[in-house]
Structure formats: structure tokens, C-alpha cells
Amino acid sequence: MAGHTDNSVVIDAPMDIVWEMTNDVPLWPSLFSEYASAEILEREGADVVFRLTMHPDDDGNVWSWVSRRTPDPVTRTVHAHRVETGPFAYMRIFWEYTSEPSGGIRMRWVQDFLMKPQAPIDDEGMTARLNRNTAVQLELIKRKVEAAARDLTR
């Protein structure tokens, strides 16, 4: 059994602002509450290889990993995967940005993964954890991008 999450949020801001802010990896520590730092390691065409470091968890552990992210501004999609997988056998991420008929941009965040047998949590547990945390992070991103869009239009 593998893990899968599929979450989204509608952001009341123009597509260009949503796209630019959420694909600006060095900005992520100010968009997400969980990241202490985001370091660009390599850029190759549209691909970005970067290290994310989280704030310490309740036990004082600091988690960090390297990912590769490929944004496609034409299709408004992003494909990413962990290069350093840590407790995951694999982790693949897909982001999709679509205009909503009623206004705003739907940002969809899909995560497909498999936990390693020796990981401290199984696929089901990680799915539940990611679903809880992703909802929190998407709401933070929504508020911050909408505030930035308001500031830009003043």
C-alpha cells in the first residue's frame, strides 16, 4: 500500500501572483510555517534542486532533505520529488494551478509516497499526518498570497 494525499485551496489573487510566490522556493520559509530554511543548491533550466530544513519538532529533531522541482508555467503545473528520501522509499509531488469560474486560483497539492519499512510511521499514518499539515499550510499560503496581492493593487 502506498500513501496518497490530494488537497487544494482557492486563493483570491491573480494567477501570476499565486504562481510567482508559491514557486519562489527561497520565499517558502515565510509562506510555510514548518520550514526554517530553503536553500537553492542548483538551477538547471526550469529545474530547481533545493534543501528544505524544518523547524525542530517536539522532540528537538531537525528534519532536512533535498528535492528537485520542475515548474511548467505554460501548463501551470509543477512536478517534484525528493532526491534525499529520508524515511520515504519515494515521495512525488504534483502541484496544479487552475482558474476557478467563480474567481480565484485553485492550487492543488498532490503527494504520492511510500514509507520505508524501517520508518517510524507507516503509509496510513503519514497520509493522515500530511493531510492534517497540508490543510494548515494551504490556509497559511492562501492568507499570505492574498495579503500580498492586496498590497500590490493598492
Q: Is residue 153's pLDDT more than 90? A: no
What residue spans define the domains of the chain? 3-24+67-152
* Residue pLDDT, tens place only, 95-133: 999 999 999 999 999 999 999 999 999 999 999 999 999
Query: Residue 94's beta-bridge partner residues?
Result: 79, 110
Class of domain 3-24+67-152: alpha beta
CB 22 within 8 A of CB 107: yes
CA 44, CA 42: separation in Å to the nearest integer? Answer: 7
pLDDT attached to residue 17: 96
pLDDT attached to residue 59: 87
Q: Is residue 82's pLDDT more than 90? A: yes
Q: What percent of the chain has pLDDT over 90?
A: 91
Residue 15 dihedral angles phi and psi, to the nearest 5°: -50, -45
**H-assigned helices in the chain:** 15-22, 28-31, 123-152
pLDDT attached to residue 124: 97
Half-sphere exposure of 13 (CA within 13 A, CB side): 24
